[in-house]
Structure 1
Amino acid sequence: MGAGGIFVLFSVCLISFLTPCDGGNILVFPVDGSHWINMKILIEELHARGHSISVMRASTSWYIAEESPLYTSITMEINEGIEDFFDAYVKENMKAQREGASALTFFKITKNFLSMISKAHSLWVDALAQIFDDEQLVKSLVDARYDLVLTDPAIAPGILLAKYLKLPLVLNVRWITSGDGHFAIAPSPTSYIPVPGSGFTDKMNFIQRVKNILFYGIIVFQQKFMVGPTYDAICDKYIEGGCDVISLLQEADIWLFRSDFVFDFPRPTMPNVIYIGGFQCKPAKPLPADLEEFVQSAGEHGVIIMTLGTLVNALPKDVADEIAAAFAKMPQKVIWKHKGERPSTIGNNTLIVDWMPQKDLLGHPQTKVFVAHGGTNGVQEAIFHGVPVLGIPLFFDQYDNLLRLQERGAGKILQLADVNGHSFEEGVHDILHRDSYRQNMQRLSRLHRDQPMGPMDQAIFWVEYVMRHKGAPLLRTSAYKMPWYSYYSLDVLLLLVTAVTVLLLSILAIFRFLCCKARRTNKTKLH
């Protein structure tokens, strides 16, 4: 056999070992900002598997590019972005936190958050109405013959679009329009399941359980009176038979949930919830030469890395100066992703950067501590690479994320209001020199990696599963079709209470009748 024949034979053998995959056609409706980072990673993998992807994006998008080799974009005109509004919220939030913990501070933060969320939902409802009113665009979406809609339900237009187009729905989710997605789909007893924002663990005393129910009341209020009504009009106008956001979420075929029980507290779940926590994590790649040289120059002391995410433009100047001064006293080298004015107290051991290869630095053996804001991505990457965390939560779910690490002895929380040179230096020193933090985090890392199937492989499998089977109705519970009084069996309880009451009253009536009859008989005998 010649060289050409050997090559052909080898090619045939290689192809025979590969799993056949028919490329699907996927419509993606993402959420901008840090949520897009997660969705883009999933899109990259789907694209690599041969799937065709279309992405709905706003004309005012922060991060979602109009041109990409990964997808075809469908741009919606939105007259107003929320970036400025969000920046104002972040500044007000940090200002309120620094005023100290009080009922007034809590009220301010909650009010600002609800105002920002309401603004975002209103903008997207207007954009969705424009889509539905654009007959040419709707026709193009129908003619594209998509296999499914993949969306992040932190905002609801994606789920409404899936319902309108009558397509299977896959959620890339942790947060829905009113908090943690579990509360919409799975039994969620507030006795041991902490509500987002409560700051509690799964071990609550009586007073904490009372507060937890009050926090749950805020979520219900948010959904019933702020988010829900925003979408009701568009549901009534465009969706046959009407709809509501929570029911549409409950109809979703698969929930790709960006969490797992190495990170989160154990709780009830459902068959169509697939946990993909850490799906974005990969082994570290080599650092750029200049950065590697800086890291190696730290010697035995190691490196501290610090970032407060993509959404914070700058810390208050006095806080940044205090942190920089604390870093300057340390023997470690520091890589700090910092925006805004350069701190005046910066030391020679600190490298200020606009961007850092966070995953690769976390995977570097020289990295000793990760100073972070507590975003889900950063926390899960720290778990994957086994690096303990000093957390400075700023807003949203960040305190709750960091609390899960602190509860497991793998991190420590420093509130923004308490940050000063002394407290920050003490916090870093504690993480560096108490071995239990690193040991506990590395234990979490081993648990996270000990899975029969990687979280990204699980995510892709279930997306393709929905495409192969045109949905996954067999995994959905029928609970969402039941009225609330039937779900909690209040009608059954009412029937049983009524039956028992009637029985007791009947027995009482019989006894009274017999007693009365006996008295009349005795009176007759006496006469």
Structure 2
Amino acid sequence: MVGTGSHEFVMRRLGEQLVQRGHRVTQIRWLHAFSDLVPANSSVEIISRRVKNAALRHRRFDAAGVFQPVSSGAWRGASSLGVALDLAQQPHTYCEDLLGDQRLLRRMRRRRFDVAIVDVYCNVCGVAFARALRLPVVGLYVVSVVGSEQSNLMGLVNMPSAVVAQFTGLTPPMSLLQRLHNAFVILGFKLVSRYLLAVSDIYVQNLETFFKSSGEHGVIIFCMGITLYDPELIPVRFIERFMRIFSRLEQKVVMRLRLSTERRHIAVPDNVLLVDWLPQLDTLGHRQARLFVSHCGIGGVMEAVYCGVPLS
């Protein structure tokens, strides 16, 4: 799995070398402004992604969901801080796209891959996606680690008195004030790195904690699929009725439902966890799963039968 830009080409070349050695390789990439829609003469299977961005919620992606290079802003005088904030938002964008696509997850599980090679630059969510597929991960950085956030993730030491951090605009040798500025930027990178790693894991760890806390009563899983289920179209009175019913149960309930800003006033009981994305097979296979409330699509039915979870 790869982010965007030149990283795509580096990772594909690596994949082609693996194919020559007898492996089957699939590359997941996000389209960017310079992508070939159909890469020519590649032995690697390519899965191209577009971010859902018609409302322009995600910076650095256009309305068609195509990544726009950071350089496009840099040449127009964008601040270094602005560029850094744009890059920091990318993991959230990738998480929403990858982990919110149940069809992609099911498709990847059927392929029975052996390992995931993840370009981790601004793409730590690729690790969470691989974890959802229960794959071992090889993390690959295709940029220099000197003075970058990668050095913090990898445990390398860059002395702030000598090594200039990214996006500071500083050059060596640095004055005392510049060194202090550099040190604060590096500290900020460390804090952001910890945050991004937490974001990539929250989709999995929060569910595990929630399931473990359910005790002998267990958890009810509420998931209505994708094709005919748009939370934004469900009348508020139905959601409120669901919440009142769930509040009377001894079981805990995990429900795939995103509440828009206009619906944040809806009271959610303490025993209910709302999630944007749900690893359906993993939750059904959890020992605390007691009931699956579903629209009974063939995928959900087969998974519930396989895991021995009653359907409603």
- What's the TM-score once normalised by structure 1's chain length? 0.32
Alignment partners' CA distance in 1, 2:67 and 2:47? 24
Whichever residue aligns with residue 127 of structure 1, its letter is D
- Check if 1:94 corresponds to 2:66: no
Could you tell me which residue of structure 2 aligns to residue 138 of structure 1? 105
The match for 1:519 is: none
Residue pair 1:149, 1:168 contacting (<8 A) in 2 also: yes
Q: Which of 103, 110, 116 is the matching residue for 2:80?
A: 110
User: What does 1:473-484 align with in structure 2 at a 5 Å threshold?
Assistant: none
The 10-residue stretch of structure 1 (191-200 or 40-49) with the greater mean CA deviation from structure 2: 191-200
Letter in 2 for 1:153: V
**How big is the shift at 1:58?**
3.8
Q: How does 1:393-472 map to 2 (within 5 A)?
A: none
Unaligned runs of 5+ in 2: 211-312
Q: Distance in 1 between matches of 2:175 and 2:48?
A: 50
The whole-number CA distance in structure 2 between the counterparts of 1:37 and 1:123 is 21
Q: Does 1:182 pair with 2:151?
A: yes
1: CA distance between counterparts of 2:69 and 2:32? 17
Residue 152, structure 1, aligned to residue 119, structure 2: yes
**AA of the residue aligned to 1:125:** C
Aligned mate of 2:43, from 61, 70, 75 = 70
The counterpart of 1:219, out of the listed 173, 189, 213, is 189
Task: Report matched runs for 1:362-373 at 5 Å.
Answer: none
Q: Which residue identity is paired with 2:118?
A: T
Q: 1:121 to 1:61 in 2, by over 3 A?
A: farther
Partner amino acid for 1:141? M
What is the alpha-carbon distance in structure 2 between the residues aligned to residue 188 and residue 142 of structure 1?
Answer: 38
Indicate the structure (1 or 2) with the bigger Cα radius of gyration: 1
Q: What secondary structure is seen at the aligned counterpart in 2 of 1:195?
A: coil
What letter corresponds to residue 172 of structure 1 in structure 2?
L
Shift of 1:32: 1.7
The residue that corresponds to 1:49 in the other structure is 21
Contact 2:10 2:142 in 1 (8 A): no
Seen in structure 2, the aligned counterparts of structure 1 residues 179 and 241 have a Cα distance that, compared at 3 Å, is farther
One-letter amino acid matched to 1:185? M
Q: Is the 8 A contact 2:120 2:126 kept in 1?
A: yes
Aligned-residue offset at 1:62? 4.8
Q: 1:65 to 1:241 in 2, by over 3 A?
A: farther
Q: Is the 2:27–2:46 Cα contact (8 Å) retained in structure 1?
A: yes
Task: Show the counterpart of 1:356.
Answer: none
Q: 1:61 to 1:157 in 2, by over 3 A?
A: farther
Provide the C-alpha distance between the structure 1 equivalents of 2:8 and 2:93, rounded to a whole number of angstroms. Answer: 18
Name the SS of the counterpart of 1:182 in structure 2: helix
Question: What's 1:435 paired with?
Answer: none
Amino acid corresponding to residue 186 of structure 1 in structure 2 = G
Compared CA separation, residues 86 and 30, structure 1 to 2 (3 A): closer
- The CA RMSD measured in Å over matched residues stands at 3.7
Counterpart-to-counterpart distance in 2, 1:208 and 1:60: 35
1:31 corresponds in structure 2 to 3
Query: Where does 1:195-206 land on structure 2 (aligned, <5 Å)?
Result: 195-198=165-168, 199-200=170-171, 206=176
> How many residues get paired?
197
| Displacement after TM superposition at 1:118 (Å) | 4.2
Counterparts of residues 114-513 of structure 1 (less than 5 Å): 114-131=84-101, 133-134=102-103, 137-154=104-121, 155-175=123-143, 179-190=148-159, 191-198=161-168, 199-200=170-171, 206-224=176-194, 227=196, 230-231=199-200, 233-237=202-206, 240=208
Residue aligned with 1:181, SS:
helix
Structure 2 vs 1, CA of residues 65 and 53 (structure 1 numbering), >3 Å: closer, same or farther? farther
Q: TM-score, normalised by structure 2?
A: 0.51
Q: 2:75 is matched by which residue type in structure 1? A: M
Q: Which residue type is aligned with residue 137 of structure 2?
A: L
Q: In the TM superposition, what is the alpha-carbon distance from 1:116 to its structure 2 partner?
A: 2.0
Q: Is the contact between residue 28 and residue 46 of structure 2 (CA under 8 Å) also seen in structure 1?
A: yes
Kindly provide the CA deviation profile for residues 410-433 of structure 1, in whole angstroms up to 9, marking residues without a partner as x. xxxxxxxxxxxxxxxxxxxxxxxx
Whole-angstrom distance in 2 between the partners of 1:55 and 1:32: 12
Contact 2:165–2:186, Cα closer than 8 Å, also in 1:
yes
Question: Deviation digits for residues 258-300 of structure 1, max 9, x if unmatched?
Answer: xxxxxxxxxxxxxxxxxxxxxxxxxxxxxxxxxxxxxxxxxxx
Q: Is the partner of 1:150 in helix, strand or coil? A: strand
Return closer, same or farther for 1:237/1:54 CA change in 2, 3 Å cut-off: farther
Which ranges of structure 1 fall in alignment gaps of 5 or more residues?
1-28, 97-107, 243-527
SS in 1 for 2:79: helix
Residues in 2 aligned to 1:237 and 1:64: alpha-carbon distance in whole angstroms: 38
> Aligned partners of 1:75, 1:56: CA distance in 2, in Å?
6
Are the aligned partners of 1:153 and 1:176 in contact in 2 as well (CA < 8 Å)? no
Instruction: Give CA deviations for 1:293-328 in whole Å, capped at 9, x if unaligned.
Output: xxxxxxxxxxxxxxxxxxxxxxxxxxxxxxxxxxxx
Q: Percent identity?
A: 16
Q: Find the counterpart in structure 1 of residue 221 from structure 2.
A: none
Asked if the contact 1:47/1:70 (under 8 Å) is kept, the reply is: yes
- SS of the residue 2:100 aligns to: helix
Secondary structure of the residue aligned to 2:4 is coil
Deviation at 1:121, TM superposition (A): 2.6
The residue that corresponds to 2:242 in the other structure is none
